């Protein structure tokens, strides 16, 4: 393997990893506040992507406008899902909400199959994304630089929201003890709705990025990135925003390098992701940057 090839592999893993990271941030956010693994996240990811490309092909909107609208619409949808499927179960055992989220996930997937049909759709990409920058035999896709920067920016914004704003204070309070927060006058439902709004907006944003990188829309497109991002979130420490970013990048790196160094095992790289998950759960159940378990119960 020569240097150019190694750098190419590194860039490939950076692209894949930061996409995982972007999805994982949304997962981890909802989990951090509500202790709920929201499986419907994958479907919000898919819907976000569809909405953008609808906006562009049917609505003839310019890129940034279509993206903003799609993210807003998906975020609203996320809030509605919370109201309908999770809020009535707030006092029920945690497993009920988890099962409800699996139900929502299947429901949305099937609705998408009915409305969008199962045939993959094309994605129109802006011209500047299509042309790679070539230096010394290494090909850099503009997206390769764009997505990690976006992930980093979003991470910083989220950390600012969580640690520097009043709503963030509420989120942290709810994550510690939801009942006491009620008693202390925290507008719990409003803050949870906000959390879902932000989490879903992130899912939509990552769905759009994903569709730009792997230009194809399918009703089931969210499932595999969703699983991978979940693994990434657990690996980094679910509930931790920097953890999600590190987990995502690590997973992307492992997947690409598995293929680069052990080409014969290329077909089984998903297995490596799951082995990683099991190992992490065995050795350090809270993940790399996870909080101590005592806080969560």
Residues that bind another protein (CB under 8 A): 2, 5, 8-9, 12-13, 15-16, 110, 113, 117-123, 130, 132, 134, 139, 141, 214-216, 218, 220-221, 223-225, 255-260, 263-264, 266-270
How far apart are the C-alpha atoms of 130 and 53, rounded to whole Å? 16
Residue 290 DSSP label:
P
Residue 119: CB minimum distance to another protein, A? 4
- From the number of C-beta atoms within 10 Å of its C-beta (0-12, 13-18, 19+), residue 87 rates as middle
Helical (H) or strand (E) element with 32: helix 3-34
Nearer to another protein by Cβ, of 7 and 150: the residue is 7
CB atoms within 10 A of CB 155: 17
130's CB contacts (< 8 A; 6+ apart) are none
129 touches 142 (CB < 8 A): yes
Residue with smaller CB distance to another protein, 160 or 268: 268
Least distance from another protein to the Cβ atom of residue 267, Å: 3
Minimum separation from the CB atom of position 19 to another protein (A): 9
Of the pair 20, 196, the CB lying nearest another protein is at 20
Q: Taking the complex as a whole, how short is the minimal distance between the CB of residue 161 and another protein, in angstroms? A: 31
What is Dmax (Cα atoms) for the chain?
63
Q: Which residue's CB is nearer to another protein, number 185 or number 267?
A: 267
Of the pair 113, 184, the CB lying nearest another protein is at 113
CB of 219 to another protein, least distance (A): 8
Q: Which of 127, 111, 150, 125 is nearest to 211 (CA)?
A: 125
With beta carbons less than 8 A apart as the criterion, state whether 98 and 37 touch: yes
**What is the rounded distance in angstroms from the CA atom of residue 228 to the CA atom of residue 247?**
10
> Residue 174 has which token pair?
């709810």
Q: Which of 235, 238, 196 is nearest to 40 (CA)?
A: 196
Shorter beta-carbon distance to another protein: residue 36 or 209: 209
Smallest gap from residue 48 Cβ to another protein (A):
16
């Amino acid at each position: 393997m020569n240097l150019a090839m190694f750098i190419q592999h590194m860039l490939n893993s950076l692209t894949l990893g930061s996409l995982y990271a972007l999805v994982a941030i949304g997962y981890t956010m909802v989990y951090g506040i509500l202790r709920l693994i929201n499986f419907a996240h994958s479907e919000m990811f898919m819907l976000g992507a569809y909405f953008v490309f609808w906006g562009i092909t049917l609505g003839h909107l310019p890129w940034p406008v279509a993206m903003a609208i799609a993210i807003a619409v998906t975020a609203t949808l996320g809030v509605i899902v919370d109201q309908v499927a999770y809020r009535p179960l707030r006092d029920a055992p945690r497993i009920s909400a988890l099962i409800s989220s699996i139900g929502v996930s299947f429901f949305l997937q099937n609705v998408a199959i009915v409305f969008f049909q199962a045939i993959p759709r094309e994605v129109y990409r802006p011209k500047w994304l299509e042309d790679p920058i070539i230096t010394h035999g290494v090909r850099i896709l503009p997206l390769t630089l764009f997505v990690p920067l976006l992930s980093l920016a979003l991470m910083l914004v989220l950390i600012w929201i969580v640690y520097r704003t009043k709503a963030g204070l509420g989120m942290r309070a709810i994550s510690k003890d939801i009942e006491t927060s009620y008693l202390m006058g925290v507008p719990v439902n409003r803050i949870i709705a906000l959390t879902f709004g932000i989490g879903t907006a992130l899912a939509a944003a990552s769905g759009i990025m994903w569709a730009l990188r792997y230009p194809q829309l399918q009703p089931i497109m969210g499932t595999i990135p969703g699983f991978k991002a979940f693994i990434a979130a657990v690996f980094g420490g679910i509930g931790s925003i920097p953890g999600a970013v590190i987990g995502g990048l690590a997973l992307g790196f492992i997947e690409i390098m598995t293929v680069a160094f052990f080409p014969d095992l290329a077909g089984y790289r998903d297995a490596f992701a799951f082995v990683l998950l099991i190992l992490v759960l065995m050795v350090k159940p809270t993940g790399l940057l996870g909080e101590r378990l005592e806080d969560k119960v």
